[in-house]
Amino acid sequence: MKHLEKNVIFGLYDDEEILKSAVIKANEAHLEIMDVYTPFAVHGLDPLLGLKESRLHIGGFVYGLTGTLTAFLGMTWIHTRDWPQIIGGKPYWAILSFVPITFELTVLFASIGMVATFYIINGQGPGVMNPILHPSITDDKFCIAFETGGLDNSEVEKRRNFFNNTGASLVETKTI
Amino acid sequence: MGSGISSPIREPLVQGHKTYHQITEDLCSPTERAPSRAWTLAFIVALSALTFGVICILITIWVGIGTWRLNRTIGWGWDITNFVWWIGIGHAGTLISAILLLFRQKWRTGVNRAAEAMTIFAVICAALFPAIHVGRIWVTFFFFPYPNTRGPVWPNFNSPLLWDLFAISTYFTVSLLFWYTGLVPDFATVRDRAKGFRRKLYNTLSFGWTGAAKHWQRHEALSLVLAGLATPLVLSVHTIVSFDFATSVIPGWHTTIFPPYFVAGAIFSGFAMVLTLMIITRKVLNLQDYITIGHIESMNKIILVTGTIVGVAYLTELFIAWYSGYVYEQFAFFNRALGPYWWAYFGMMTCNVLSPQIFWSKKIRRNVTITFLMSIFVNIGMWFERFVIIATTLARDYLPSSWSFYVPSIVEIGIFIGTLGIFFTCYLIFVRIAPVVAIAEIKHILKSSGDQYVNANAQTTFQQIETGNMELEVAGHDTHDGHDHH
């Protein structure tokens, strides 16, 4: 997959409260944020960035349902149609004894499905190399990044000033 | 959650006035230094035990199950005892990660990563036993329902032994996924500090994690749903294991109390193993600021509760045996206490029912040495419990002319020692490669539970900045000219 190059200007903040204030100010100044990177999940950040809620749980439900049906219908067919056997004097279609495996397969399919979906939609996976703006982001710094491709110098300066005015401890430009 | 003030009476969960960077340093550095002498020694011992176990397993497969001295009527001996013991130990990890997450217990963050790792290694050890106890391990693929040309012939889906297969496989997979999902951001933290070969290794392991806000949002959503799935899963897994016994017709086995009794016992033994490992880990890696006495006390409380539940279950069994008037059930328990394995029964009662009661005392709950000794007792006691259930019952079932006695062979003992070797080898490797405490989660709770933020010191972020408790660099200012804070 060809990686499209982006020019960004980013600022690092020392604390998540300062980060959130800065995001609010960026919204007020109508500066479109490319992304925010943090070392841990910051509560209250998602609504500020206008992030819609994740729909991963819907996927989880669908995968789980697939598991339920696979297990239950599979066992039903095997024990009633394909090779019915009288086991322990019990009926062929022993619904209650199918429950444990049905439950397990529901959980299994839901989990594997959701985790796989999570990595795919994030663009992550074993050995995937995504561009890192600054190594401190996974340590103790909080980052706001703006795209600068197609912006003239005064716009870039506007963003640089924004970072300086909101308390960023570091401002840098990078091509990723 | 967030940066506000939390309850001023709660005990801090992170001590030492840590900053985010210090958390990174403290928790990443064990993976960056060369292994200590203690680690190397422990690794050699664990690896030797593992090797001995592998040899015993090879003997079992080559010569046959006869090397296990199982006989009529004792078809299950140390093999299934060990299986249930290991699965029980694995339950603490999922409980800490999943159930305590749903209950919003922030203290789980100090121990959840290591506990989940323990779950995975314990399940590996446990899964070994069903695989090798069948004798002809080369046909174990029969267990899995795949379309075949032999009829097609299918496994018996009504059998608890097959439910076990699905339950253990699912449990292993889901625990692994849950554990790894939490590890990815922490691997990214280690990656961004690493150079050379380690950088390449952690690049692969961290899956390209960048810390983007949307990714964190999805990460939280995923963790919550996985926790919600893992909770009924952990309850169902040990319930299904208990069904291996409860769905039989053997007196002492065929009781409806087994599912909750087994689940409580699993949590009990699991937490004991977590404590054993955490007490050693926090001492050796100097993590007392993250795995505090408060954490140990909380885990002891859970041990007290689940140990008492197990004790109540024992008493219930005895009562119902008497109340039912069913002579075979009555004999089963008479035999446990006074039969040929009475010493195992009293070991079990002492270790499981009597000894955890000392944790009613707060002083004892917060004593690390006593906790460590207790955790060993509980693990021994829970092993005896499974042994008592299996061997004593099978040795004295319905027909006196079939009564027999069972003594383990050196091969069986060797396999058990081997699983201890596997478990500790894996754990030691885990300690070298991955951060033992969940870095991102600790940072997440720092503001609400760090000791500079709770109790009388509770301050919001901006107050912290004003009073100089938190230093900030400001872009464009040179802050390397010495400290001018008070």
Encode pLDDT of A40-95 as tens digits: 999 999 999 999 999 999 999 999 999 999 999 999 999 999 999 999 898 999 99
A149 has pLDDT over 90: no
Give me the residue from A101, A111, A143 closest to B157, CB to CB: A101
List of chain A residues whose C-beta atoms are within 8 Å of the C-beta of residue B221: 53-54, 56-57
For B284-322, how does the pLDDT look when each residue is reduced to its tens digit (9 = 90+)? 999 999 999 999 999 999 999 999 999 999 999 999 999
Q: How far is A151 from chain B (nearest CA, A)?
A: 23
Exposure pattern of A70-88 as b/e (b: 16+ CB <10 Å)? ebbebbbebbeeeeeeeee
Q: Which two tokens stand for residue A83?
A: 């090779």
B465 has pLDDT over 80: no
Where does the pLDDT of residue A4 fall: very low under 50, low under 70, confident under 90, or very high at 90 and above? confident
For B363-416, how does the pLDDT look when each residue is reduced to its tens digit (9 = 90+)? 999 999 999 999 999 999 999 999 999 999 999 988 899 899 999 999 999 999
B11 has pLDDT over 90: no
Q: How far is B227 from chain A (nearest CA, A)?
A: 10
- How much of chain B exceeds pLDDT 70, in percent? 92
Does this model's pTM top 0.90? yes
Q: How far is A114 from chain B (nearest CA, A)?
A: 7
User: How high is the pLDDT of residue A114?
Assistant: 97
Q: Does B236 touch chain A if contact means CB atoms closer than 8 Å? A: yes
B462 has pLDDT over 80: no
User: How high is the pLDDT of residue B479?
Assistant: 43
Q: How far is B239 from chain A (nearest CA, A)?
A: 10
Q: CA-to-CA distance for B285 and B292, rounded, in angstroms?
A: 13
- How much of chain A exceeds pLDDT 70, in percent? 98
For B45-70, how does the pLDDT look when each residue is reduced to its tens digit (9 = 90+)? 999 999 999 999 999 999 999 999 88
Where does A7-53+130-175 sit in CATH, by number?
Answer: 3.30.70
Minimal-distance CA residue of chain B relative to A11 = B475
Domain range list for chain B: 20-144+163-453
Q: Does B189 touch chain A if contact means CB atoms closer than 8 Å? A: yes
- How much of chain B exceeds pLDDT 90, in percent? 80
Positions of CATH 3.30.70 in chain A: 7-53+130-175
B234 has pLDDT over 80: yes
List of chain A residues whose C-beta atoms are within 8 Å of the C-beta of residue B236: 100, 103-104
**Order of strands across the sheet with A7-13?**
A35-37, A142-147, A7-13, A170-175
Region B177-196 average pLDDT: 95
Peptide bond into B152 cis (omega under 30): yes
Tell which phi-psi region holds residue B33, choosing left (phi > 0), alpha (psi between -120 and 50) or beta. beta
List of chain B residues whose C-beta atoms are within 8 Å of the C-beta of residue A14: 470, 472-473
User: How high is the pLDDT of residue A176?
Assistant: 87
User: How high is the pLDDT of residue B398?
Assistant: 84
Binding-face residues of A in 14-33 toward B, CB within 8 A: 14-18
Q: Which two tokens stand for residue B263?
A: 């689940």
Q: Does B170 touch chain A if contact means CB atoms closer than 8 Å? A: yes
User: How high is the pLDDT of residue B73?
Assistant: 86
Give me the residue from A82, A98, A128 closest to B208, CB to CB: A128
ipTM over cut 0.85: yes
Mean per-residue pLDDT of chain A: 93
